[in-house]
Amino acid sequence: MDGGTEFVDGNALAGTLAEVFAVDVTAALARCGSCGETGPLAGLRVYGRAPGLVARCPGCESVVLRVNRGPGAAWLDLRGATCLRVDLPD
């Protein structure tokens, strides 16, 4: 994943989000707040390099998620996702 100039995909969110969540959320289903397309976070189009990542819907290109890992804190902006479904064992 080195040297890309275009977008990569939501798999690239895994490391930063694993710092925040107790489960891997790249396999979680997110619904785009703009067009309603639902798919795994891993399927989002991710622009930018660490520490700031912007993830867009593959259907309509709206921003679904932004995450920024700064000194001593992570900022997570999920305004473009209306819901997140995470598979968990009972």
Partner 1 sequence: MAGTAVPGRLTWRVATLVDAVEETPTARTLVLEVPGWPGHLAGQHVDVRLTAEDGYRAQRSYSLAAPAKGDLVRITVQELADGEVSPYLVRGLSIGDPVELRGPVGGWFVWRPTDPSPVLLVAGGSGVVPLVAMVRARREAGVRTPFRLVYSVRSPGDRLYADELNRPEPGLDISYVYTRTTPEGWPAPPHRIGVPDVNSGGWPAEFEPACFVCGPTGFVEKVADILVALGHDPRRVRTERFGG
Distance in angstroms (rounded) separating the CA atoms of residues 34 and 39: 13
CB of 14 to partner 1, least distance (A): 4
Q: Which is nearer to partner 1, 12 or 64 (CB)?
A: 12
Q: Considering only CA atoms, which of 49, 48, 30, 50 is closest in space to residue 40? A: 30
Q: Which is nearer to partner 1, 11 or 82 (CB)?
A: 11
Going from the C-alpha of 13 to that of each of 34, 89, 90, the distances in angstroms are 20, 23, 26
CB of 59 to partner 1, least distance (A): 12
Where does this chain bind partner 1 (CB under 8 A)? 1-12, 14-15, 18-19, 21-24, 26-27, 40-43, 49-50
Distance in angstroms (rounded) separating the CA atoms of residues 24 and 22: 7
CB of 79 to partner 1, least distance (A): 22
